Amino acid sequence: MSGSMDIAEIERLLYDEADCLDRADLDAWIELYTDDGTYWMPVMPDQESPVDHISLFYDDRVLMEVRRRNMNHPRSPSKEYPIRCSHIIANVRVTEEAADACTVTSNFHCLMFYNDKQTMFGGRYTHELVRQQDRLMIRHKRVDLINCDAALNSLIIYL
């Protein structure tokens, strides 16, 4: 790989993010995103727009900040159950690269235990990464679930 992006560094960031989500630690997770960072989970395969079509999630920093506080609030009925996840990320590939930015796709499986039920999620991540003040950060993450258009149950945490 050429340029300033090192695959090991990229993978380390993806694993760090997965680790925050495994522990449902949104305080640490949000620090991995740039101030203009966004998180998107479309409801259709190949969905083009997060704002002209309904999505399962589309959060910018403002909604991430609200969600982070909500996750830690003692009075959210859906957060009364522990959320335990185990993410596995593989097939990490850099698909676009510029001087201080790159786009990375990967496959993921996430096993989630929540409210006495174990659920398997899987699909593809697309991360847009950018180097800011010497640190690789996430500017955009797109999560394409393979069953995004199924009648899913509640999604309590980012995947």
User: What is the contact surface with another protein in residues (CB under 8 A)?
Assistant: 41, 43-44, 47, 51-58, 62-63, 65-70, 73-80, 115, 149-156
Minimal distance in Å, beta carbon 133 to another protein? 22
Instruction: Considering the complex, state which of residue 3 and residue 45 has its C-beta at the smaller distance from another protein.
Output: 45
Instruction: Considering the complex, state which of residue 73 and residue 95 has its C-beta at the smaller distance from another protein.
Output: 73
Instruction: Considering the complex, state which of residue 2 and residue 73 has its C-beta at the smaller distance from another protein.
Output: 73
Q: Which residues lie across from 7 on neighbouring strands?
A: none
- In 71-134, beta strands by DSSP E: 83-97, 101-114, 117-132
Minimal distance in Å, beta carbon 75 to another protein? 5
Q: What is the DSSP string of 18-46?
A: HHHHHTT-HHHHHTTEEEEEEEEEESSTT
Structure-block tokens of residue 68: 């982070």
Instruction: Considering the complex, state which of residue 55 and residue 106 has its C-beta at the smaller distance from another protein.
Output: 55
Task: State whether residue 68 is helix, strand or coil.
Answer: helix
Minimal distance in Å, beta carbon 114 to another protein? 10
Minimal distance in Å, beta carbon 152 to another protein? 5
Instruction: Considering the complex, state which of residue 116 and residue 134 has its C-beta at the smaller distance from another protein.
Output: 116
Minimal distance in Å, beta carbon 9 to another protein? 29
Task: State whether residue 85 is helix, strand or coil.
Answer: strand
The sheet that has 55-59: what strands, in order across it?
55-59, 33-42, 135-145, 117-132, 101-114, 83-97
